[in-house]
Amino acid sequence: MKKKAEKYAVGDSITMMCSGCDDEKPHTIETVTKLGKISKAICDSCEGVSTFNRGVKTSVAVGKGKAASPYDRNRKYRKGQAMTHSTFGHGEVTAVVEAQKIDVLFGDKTRRLIHAQD
């Protein structure tokens, strides 16, 4: 299998989901790996910091942006959406595992939560 060569440089701007803003926002790349993969990016709007390992987001620190909506098991979440959890704090949806299960990154820990419950 041939890998797509996607290289980034420090200072590049990319648009991606920001869990602080709960929207797609431009981010400035702060650090990259030797292979040109993003390892840290900062949201231009809220200054939230996201870190990555091998292209996978591994932690997220909330900037000065507005607080995310509280976790609601009845809500249908999508990847990249933010929430605040009464126990775990601020989180970001990293994957929709099944129709009613999501993985959410709280700080540097991923937890599996349910969603889209009727």
Per CB under 5 A, residues contacting Zn ion are 18, 20-21, 25, 43, 45-46, 48, 65
Closer residue to Zn ion (CB): 65 or 91: 65
Spatial separation of the C-alpha atoms in residues 25 and 22, rounded to whole Å: 9
79, 94 Cβ separation under 8 angstroms? yes
Closer residue to Zn ion (CB): 67 or 114: 67
Cα separation values, 94 from 5, 34, 86, 110, Å? 23, 24, 19, 8
Closer residue to Zn ion (CB): 48 or 91: 48
At closest approach, how far in Å is the CB of 98 from Zn ion? Answer: 28
Spatial separation of the C-alpha atoms in residues 63 and 27, rounded to whole Å: 12
At closest approach, how far in Å is the CB of 48 from Zn ion? Answer: 5
At closest approach, how far in Å is the CB of 44 from Zn ion? Answer: 7
